[in-house]
Amino acid sequence: MKFRVERDVLAEAVAWVVRGLSNRPPVPVLAGVLLKAEEEGTLTLSAFDYEISATVTVEADVAEGGTALVLGRLLADIARNLPPRPVEVATDGSRVQLTCGSSRFALIQMPVEDYPSLPAPAASSGTVAGDVFTQAVSQVSVAADRGDTLPILTGVRVEIEGEKMTLLATDRYRLAMRELTWNPGQTDLSHVALIPARTLSETAKALGAAGSIDLALADPSTGEGLIGFEAGSRRATTRLLDGEYPKVTSIFPSSVDTVAVAETAALVEAVRRVALVAERNTPVRLRFTDGQLAIEAGTGDDAQGSEAIEATLEGPEIEIAFNPQFLLDGLTALGTSHVRLAFTQSSRPAVMSGQPAVDGEPDETYRYVLMPVRFAG
């Protein structure tokens, strides 16, 4: 194998495929990146750990076709730090020689015959706008559980009914739901998938710059339990989570007593400042009155902080407390200039949604439900 490729092209390609590699793979070859050079002028890089696969094909000047397997993260580190010149790669016995300007590296080849077969690309089930999908995934994945007590809650539930796609995640303390439209291959398509949130988030970010992303939904008849993503020359698959996702949409309040609207950026900054004095696991308190929202943290002998911002109020005044980080996660995910907060009681979940202006119509395609924290007084 012998080829020449631009430094930036190689660095970006390796970074894409190694992002899902485990730091502690179950077998050594799964720490590798598979390089396959084709004499028609392409270089394909692949990584696979039985859970996640990533593949990218780039242009290269190939003098001799062939395949090699080398340590992925090491190759990524080297490629990222090379001088901005073309990179020449060639196999030499048990090593892969890499030359860029005066920089030279020799990497140990790993046994290609021990490397598992990559999942075969599945047929596309439809396409979704890259920027819309990336935003939706980031808005929802903030609410996914990061622990391993209930593995099923570490996923994002994706439900598809025709042209409507609904993404949902919860860690039992908050719930995020985003609705969007996509272009299915079949208008009567109905599908549910539970995708690991971390993998989905990283994949969406990496593919989001593309105009559109092809989704290949798992075929229940094959029992493989994979979902595929493709944009341009990049392809990825991830294994789905097993299990029945809890019916959590019942957490949405059936009625609303109080609605407040505030400027999102002003509320974010105020909460961040006041939360500086909030001890670990202690809430910030929000007191809504006509025309004003007061934010407070700290009680008694502890350090205390308070700030007030403008807010409109419809309905009875209310005082409620939230985990400050969970509150900030929802506010920063909105992506709108104003936030609409809907309440029933101070002990019941609050619903956050975006609004383009103080007197604008709420955008309920994204809703973030936050459980309140009990507080003294």
Residue 119 forms part of a structural domain: no
Q: At what angle do helices 130-141 and 324-334 cross, to 10 degrees?
A: 170
Of 114, 135, 153, which closes a domain? 114
Q: What is the pLDDT of residue 20?
A: 79
User: 70 and 169 share a domain?
Assistant: no
User: 85 and 38 share a domain?
Assistant: yes
Tokens of 9: 């092209």
Of 52, 87, 114, which closes a domain? 114
Residue 97's domain is classified under what CATH number?
3.10.150.10
User: 244 and 261 share a domain?
Assistant: no
Taking the model in full, what pTM does it have? 0.90
Residue 377 forms part of a structural domain: no
Residue 121 forms part of a structural domain: no
Of 249, 282, 314, which closes a domain? 249
Q: What is the pLDDT of residue 94?
A: 95
Q: What is the pLDDT of residue 360?
A: 86
User: 29 and 62 share a domain?
Assistant: yes
The per-residue pLDDT string of the chain (377 residues; one tens digit each, 9 = 90 and over) reads 999 999 999 999 999 999 878 888 889 999 999 999 999 999 999 999 888 999 999 999 999 999 999 999 999 999 999 999 999 999 999 999 999 999 999 999 999 999 999 988 788 999 999 999 999 999 999 999 998 788 999 999 999 999 999 999 999 999 999 999 999 999 899 999 999 999 999 999 988 777 899 999 987 656 568 999 999 999 999 999 998 898 888 888 888 999 999 999 999 999 999 999 888 778 999 999 999 999 999 877 778 999 999 999 999 999 999 999 999 999 999 999 999 999 999 999 999 999 998 888 889 999 999 999 987 65
Using the structure block, give the residue that is written with the tokens 């609050």: 350
Q: Give tens-digit pLDDT for 136-163.
A: 999 999 999 998 788 999 999 999 999 9
Residue 107 forms part of a structural domain: yes
Helix residue ranges, H only, the chain: 7-18, 72-81, 130-141, 197-207, 264-274, 324-334
Number of domains in the chain: 3
User: 138 and 229 share a domain?
Assistant: yes
- Which distant-in-sequence residues (6+ apart) come within 8 Å of 90 by Cβ? 1, 2, 3, 64, 96, 97
Pairing of strands 190-196, 155-161: antiparallel
Task: Determine what percent of the chain is predicted with pLDDT higher than 70.
Answer: 98
Residue 375 forms part of a structural domain: no
Report the chain's terminal Cα–Cα distance, integer Å.
73
Can you say how many angstroms the Cα of residue 211 is from the centroid of all Cα atoms in its chain?
A: 18
Q: What is the pLDDT of residue 220?
A: 64
Q: What is the pLDDT of residue 298?
A: 85
Give the SS3 label for residue 154. Answer: helix
Residue 258 forms part of a structural domain: yes
Q: At what angle do helices 264-274 and 324-334 cross, to 10 degrees?
A: 160
User: 217 and 320 share a domain?
Assistant: no
User: 230 and 281 share a domain?
Assistant: no
Residue 326 forms part of a structural domain: yes
Q: What is the pLDDT of residue 222?
A: 60
Q: Give tens-digit pLDDT for 199-234.
A: 999 999 988 777 899 999 987 656 568 999 999 999
User: 37 and 48 share a domain?
Assistant: yes
Q: What is the pLDDT of residue 376?
A: 60
Q: What is the pLDDT of residue 358?
A: 87
Q: At what angle do helices 72-81 and 7-18 cross, to 10 degrees?
A: 150
User: 212 and 154 share a domain?
Assistant: yes
- Which distant-in-sequence residues (6+ apart) come within 8 Å of 59 by Cβ? 5, 9, 41, 42, 43
User: 100 and 139 share a domain?
Assistant: no
Q: What is the pLDDT of residue 228?
A: 94
User: 68 and 99 share a domain?
Assistant: yes
- Rounded to an integer, what distance in angstroms lies between the CA atom of residue 59 and that of residue 348? 56
Residue 13 forms part of a structural domain: yes
Owning domain of residue 132 = 126-249
- Rounded to an integer, what distance in angstroms lies between the CA atom of residue 8 and that of residue 11? 5
- Rounded to an integer, what distance in angstroms lies between the CA atom of residue 337 and that of residue 287? 21
- Rounded to an integer, what distance in angstroms lies between the CA atom of residue 208 and that of residue 212? 8
User: 243 and 260 share a domain?
Assistant: no
Q: What is the pLDDT of residue 175?
A: 96
